[in-house]
Chains A and B, each alone.
Chain A
Amino acid sequence: MALKGNLRDFSFSQLLNLISLAKKTGTLEVHGPNKAASISFDSGKLSYAQNNKLDHGLAAILLRSEKLTDKQYQVIREKANNIGDKELGLMLINSNYVTQEEILDSLKNEFVSTANDLFTWEEGVFHFENNVKPAQDKISLLISLENIIIEGSRQLKELEQLQDEIPSLDMALKFTDNPGTNIRNVNLSVKEWRVVSFINPKNTMKQIARTTKLNDLEFRRIVYSLIQAGLVELIRPEGAEPPSPKIPTLPVEDSEEQKSLVNRLITRIRSL
């Protein structure tokens, strides 16, 4: 019988725990709002994973892990587009583009990253089909789930803290006016620079996260570090209406009567 449900009710860490303990073999499909992922397991170990929003061919994975250059990737796309991952892997190794170890490391990082991303999904319909394996031309690995569950749970806790710090991605970012601060003198990673390059009061953080293709945790982590370093600050996006301040609820409607009522309260408090 297939395992079906929603991550809202049965979390991804619970699912992984179940698959690991029961040493299941099969494929888990998860469909969330605007995203989907597919993860395969072999005897309770992670064997393959793909984020359905990304190109999950081997060449694209090697490009993302910076083992191939853009130019090399384009050449492969043009000349070897119809070749399966296993065959492509052998060709790349034989032509000294990459080593076998680099391919395996890149695939492992990709699979683990796809699994880690699923920990942050608050909802998503899942469906585990027993004995369904990845396509024959795909390269499978065997990665034990214990570390993924521990690391994923740790990241989930971190994400919860970051969500407290940055509750909404509908706000925009702007560089602070602190004198003496120059972002060019700060050591930033490639991902941080990608975020920094889109900082503009017109762009909401949600738009920047989408454009830079960073997951929620990665994006919030970068923004949080930039805020903590005093380099950027949160602002309302340009053009967005500020929330209208609410006049407090009072039992009288006339504005003069309202003021009189508040003045009576002031007089009384002073006299306490």
Chain B
Amino acid sequence: MQTVKMVVTGPFSSGKTQFIQTVSEIDVVATERKISSESERIKETTTVAMDFGRITVDDDLVLYLFGTPGQKRFDFMWEILSEGMLGFVVMVDSSRPETFREARRILETFRAYAPTPYVVTANKQDLEDAWEPDDMRIALRLSPEVKLLPCISTNKESVKNALLELLYSILERMES
């Protein structure tokens, strides 16, 4: 059995766990804990080690999706999770510009760990105060060749689109 892995990363509460849950064929193996810090009490629980989802491709091949913990104090896990990955998705909550700087820091860190292909998703585009992807590109200082995809992580087609765009980038990298 061959296995490949993709990593889903991004700031705290950017929608990583939901993204994996939407396409995983198994219930996501989540390592969530109740949030202790008042400043991070935007949601009730957070991922502390990793989320783990699976998509069986055929009898010989399985794709694993790993979600990184979003809180800064767990970022020692990132290097371990990034080892051997096919590529990565950086999730950004379009409605929380205060997390954009953190998203850039995460992106730079992952690029340093492994310069594999990646895509950035402008998640939560269904929210009223979501930023336009074009404005987010400027705020995140992404160059034009970086794929920034509008996303709603509860929507399967939207998540599929992000994964497919990442796979196209991987294929392009192989052919170049």
- A264 lies within 8 A of B55 (CB): no
Asked if A187 CB lies within 8 Å of chain B CBs, one says no
- A252 lies within 8 A of B2 (CB): yes
State which residues 156-193 of A face B: CB under 8 Å. Answer: 161, 164-165, 167
Asked if A71 CB lies within 8 Å of chain B CBs, one says no
> With A and B bound together, what is the CA distance between A259 and B114 in angstroms?
20
B contact residues around A244 at 8 Å (CB):
115
> With A and B bound together, what is the CA distance between A239 and B102 in angstroms?
30
- A269 lies within 8 A of B55 (CB): yes
Task: Report the interface size for chain A: residues with CB under 8 A from the other chain.
Answer: 27
Contacts A167-B108, A266-B167, A269-B160 known; A261 to B4 CB distance under 8 Å? yes
State which residues 216-272 of A face B: CB under 8 Å. Answer: 243-252, 255, 258-259, 261-266, 268-270, 272
Interface of A is mostly: helix
A contact residues around B160 at 8 Å (CB):
269-270, 272
- A266 lies within 8 A of B174 (CB): no
- A249 lies within 8 A of B85 (CB): yes
> With A and B bound together, what is the CA distance between A245 and B170 in angstroms?
11
A contact residues around B114 at 8 Å (CB):
246
A contact residues around B171 at 8 Å (CB):
259, 262-263, 266
- B3 lies within 8 A of A272 (CB): no
> With A and B bound together, what is the CA distance between A255 and B63 in angstroms?
19
> With A and B bound together, what is the CA distance between A250 and B3 in angstroms?
8
Contacts A167-B108, A250-B86, A261-B4 known; A245 to B173 CB distance under 8 Å? yes
> With A and B bound together, what is the CA distance between A216 and B116 in angstroms?
31
